[in-house]
Structure 1
Amino acid sequence: MKRIALLAAAAALTIPLAAWASARDDLNAFARGLKGLDGQFAQKVFDANGKLKETTSGRVALSAPRLFRWEYKQPHPQLIVADGKKVWVYDPDLQQVTVRPQGVEEQNSPLAALIDPSKLDRDFRVADAGDADGLEWLLLSPKNEEQASFQSAKLGFGQGGLAKMQIVDALGQRTEIAFSGWKRNPSFAAGTFAYKPPQGVDVIGEER
């Protein structure tokens, strides 16, 4: 394992500067002046052996500095809302809401670097990941591995900005997300990043 890591590090040092600049510049251009995002996503989850476990789709919205809304619509609805202090996860099928403090693991999301580029070099080790599928890729590895919720993430940029994201968690499970229909700095409807549990649902965790 150590030998593989050393070989990977050596290979990274040989990447042409022009390729690095292109991938990094794509991210910088996409993030420039960005205070909010709203778009659609299609997500696939693979186990550590590469077997497809789940396919979902929905809507994602982000707003600086720590607000996000991740809404699964197909095949089973689920809503995740971060209001800056707490994260709410609502499962309509189970009639259950889980609430927890919005800790470091949420703040260190790869998408947070889009809204606040200062987080990029502060929170992640950044490396060029080359060209694939017509996209320029950046590899992000959390500097604080103990508090991170993932091992690594790859961001793929095309002419329309961020097109894909790939995340590998601590168990080797891989999540691939394709984005579309991005709206930059939209006017969000009131309540987009707020959540109040419906009456009659079970609430797990501390609400206050």
Structure 2
Amino acid sequence: MLLLRLGCLLLVIVALTARADVLDLLAERQGMAGRFTQEILSSEGEMLERSAGGFALLRPRYLRWEIESPDRQLLIASDGRLTQVDWDLEVVVERPIPQDQRSPFDWLLASRAELEAAFLIEMQEQTAILTPYDAGALYQRLEITYEPAAGWQLKAADRGGQVLSIDLSEDRERLPTAADFVVPDTPF
């Protein structure tokens, strides 16, 4: 009887660990940095755009997104502002980030409590599927997947059916610092 109880307890512990794994792993991080590939897919699944580069994320809401191909752009979100540097067009644009329009990256940095308040959360193996309670939300579905060999994957489906699919290869040796989120001087 004791062996049966221990076996059941072990199964419950394993099930709870698997359920919480993806979001808990994400919540453990103060930040992450590495490389990304990004694709925008039509509602029919056709690839509309592909880009690659480097990224850094730091809690509570700092983002550095450096597109290296096909064009060269830098996006930095910090202190409620988004700055976009287009190296090819030699343009810098800065604008406030609307508080009511959170991007998928904001949700990657959100606490578990924030996620539970905004989304119905369904766990499937190594993926958390988030469906917003707000029918007018910018994204109708977010999927966050973590596989140790492949890294993180984020999929965000918008109201029009387009899907933003991002693969993040994390560099565990490089933690982002506040200096990563300072907009560099430009000659233009």
When normalised by structure 1's length, the TM-score is 0.71
Mapped partners of 1:111, 1:101: distance in 2? 15
Please say if residues 71 and 79 of structure 1, whose CA atoms lie closer than 8 Å, have aligned partners that are also in contact: yes
Name the counterpart of 1:182. 171
Mapped partners of 2:185, 2:112: distance in 1? 33
**Are 2:157 and 1:163 aligned?**
no
Shift in alpha-carbon separation, 1:19–1:178, aligned structure 2, 3 A: farther
User: C-alpha offsets along residues 138-168 of structure 1, whole Å, 9 cap, x if unaligned?
Assistant: 111223343x332211111223685211111
Mapped partners of 2:109, 2:33: distance in 1? 12
Which portions of structure 1, spanning 4 or more consecutive aligned residues, are displaced by more than 3 angstroms?
17-24, 105-108, 110-115
Shift in alpha-carbon separation, 1:156–1:28, aligned structure 2, 3 A: closer
**Are 2:112 and 1:139 aligned?**
no
User: C-alpha offsets along residues 105-161 of structure 1, whole Å, 9 cap, x if unaligned?
Assistant: 564535534453332102222113x35xxxx22111223343x33221111122368
When normalised by structure 2's length, the TM-score is 0.78
How many equivalent residue pairs?
Answer: 177
**One-letter code of the match for 1:156?**
T
**Are 2:99 and 1:104 aligned?**
yes
State, as a whole percentage, how many aligned pairs show the same letter.
24
Shift in alpha-carbon separation, 1:32–1:149, aligned structure 2, 3 A: closer
CA RMSD in angstroms, aligned pairs only: 2.9
Please say if residues 30 and 161 of structure 1, whose CA atoms lie closer than 8 Å, have aligned partners that are also in contact: no
Where does the alignment leave 5 or more consecutive residues of structure 2 unmatched? Answer: 1-11
Mapped partners of 2:91, 2:47: distance in 1? 26
Task: Select the residue among 160, 183, 186 that pairs with 1:195.
Answer: 183
